[in-house]
Amino acid sequence: MTILRSFLFYIGYICSGVIASLLACLIGPFINLEKRLKFFSLWPKFANWFLHLTCKIEVEIIGEHYIPDEPCVIVSNHQGQWETFSMQYLFHPLCTLLKKELLYIPLWGWAMAMLKPIAINRKKPKEALSLTLNEGSERLKSGMYVLLFPEGTRVGAGKVGKYARSCFELAKRNNVKVLPLCHNSGECWPAHKFIKKPGKIKLHIGEPFLVDNTKQSALETEDWVKRKLNLN
């Protein structure tokens, strides 16, 4: 039954993604960035509803009152695919960081390009860091939230990777707060796995803070995530 539910989810997920991307490509050039972001956020909202309908996966958000009204750097652990699109409708306007090659995917990549993400080449880490800091600063100054994954790659459920200082450096340079996030999405939607497991994804939103020491902030945030995931 779980296999069938996962199969049904992917049919709706992919088909709706194609339709949403096509509409975004057709409408996007004629509306401003803010409206593009709002329009494209309808797809992840639908996808989460459909995820619950087909795979019996609920999403609980804890600490939503901590979300600041002003631009900030959002840092989240990275367990799978769920958090790469779900944040689009939880935070607005949102700028995400992604691999440059994803923008070459027909329709979806073209639609994403119109949302002004920070597209990096992971094979050139120094260039990627410079681009993240420069373009991230531009997005913050334009009034956007910037979402970053300090672990740098997906880390399976039950683990937390080392948090990079660069994410906190972006916040410090621009004198904006860091908003820490923590979730257990990998328990229900494991990375690189077809099967979706029924359960509850808990998204914890922590209290935003200003960065004084980037190394200390990275360590403290990483430790906060471990506590929320009961890994300490």
Question: What is the tens place of the pLDDT at every residue in 157-190?
Answer: 889 999 999 999 999 999 999 999 999 999 999 8
Using alpha carbons, select from 210, 79, 93 the residue that is nearest to residue 146. Answer: 93
pLDDT, tens only, 58-74: 999 999 999 999 999 99
pTM of the model: 0.94
Query: Which pLDDT does position 181 carry in this prediction?
Result: 98
| Mean pLDDT value across residues 13-23 | 94
Residue 72, CB-side half-sphere exposure with 13 Å CA sphere: 20
Q: Which residue has the tokens 């194609």?
A: 18
Q: Would you say 170 and 193 are in contact if contact means Cβ atoms under 8 Å apart?
A: no
Using alpha carbons, select from 39, 75, 114 the residue that is nearest to residue 214. Answer: 75
Going along the chain from its start, the domains and CATH numbers come out as: 2-228 (3.40.1130)
- Does residue 220 register a pLDDT over 90? yes
| Mean pLDDT value across residues 214-228 | 96
